[in-house]
Structure 1
Amino acid sequence: MSVVSKAELMERFGLSEKEIEELEAAADAADRGEWPKGKITRIGRPSLYEEETETVSHKEPKSKIIALDAKARALGISRSQALRQATDLWLMQG
């Protein structure tokens, strides 16, 4: 791990000494598990659900995955969406 000096931060990134001190304070707080107050912006796609999600993974034979992908592609949906729909149907069957 390489440590960059304050002088290098100032030279390479145009940061002031005050900005560097603020960044160091924020990094120290994050190391302690503290987060700044205010809105947290998540980067990436918006969530499909209003609740917390969890990844589910299992193995299938390659031939079944090829067939699943072909059917999903024909329907214009992703593999994940096809599996979500299949799960919903299965759960609705009781």
Structure 2
Amino acid sequence: FATKHFKHLQKKTKETNRKKQGLRVTEADVLEKLEKMEADDGSDERLKMAVLYFLTRVIRGRTRNAYFIEPFILQAVDDLDFCNKFPWGRYTFDDCMKEIFHLR
């Protein structure tokens, strides 16, 4: 899903034998894409983009506006059933604990 919609944000490497760095998608990229999508195109694409925006803005929200979205989040939105069942509260709690420990 993410590769399909954000292919232009794939970081390219100069050497052909090196692995690709992955997508470099920000919250602003997701919002821009979501606003451009049609409201009812008959697919789950817009819903997935809305879920991606929710996850990046609310669940994994950061104080910096230009951080790159984690690959796990970009992959998770491809399966909406997975997103419904995943323990986002625990995931967020663990991240908060890492941040507190890091600051301490």
TM over 0.5: no
Structure of larger gyration radius = 1
Q: Which has the higher contact order (CA 8 A, sep 6+)?
A: 2
- Normalising by structure 1, report the TM-score: 0.20
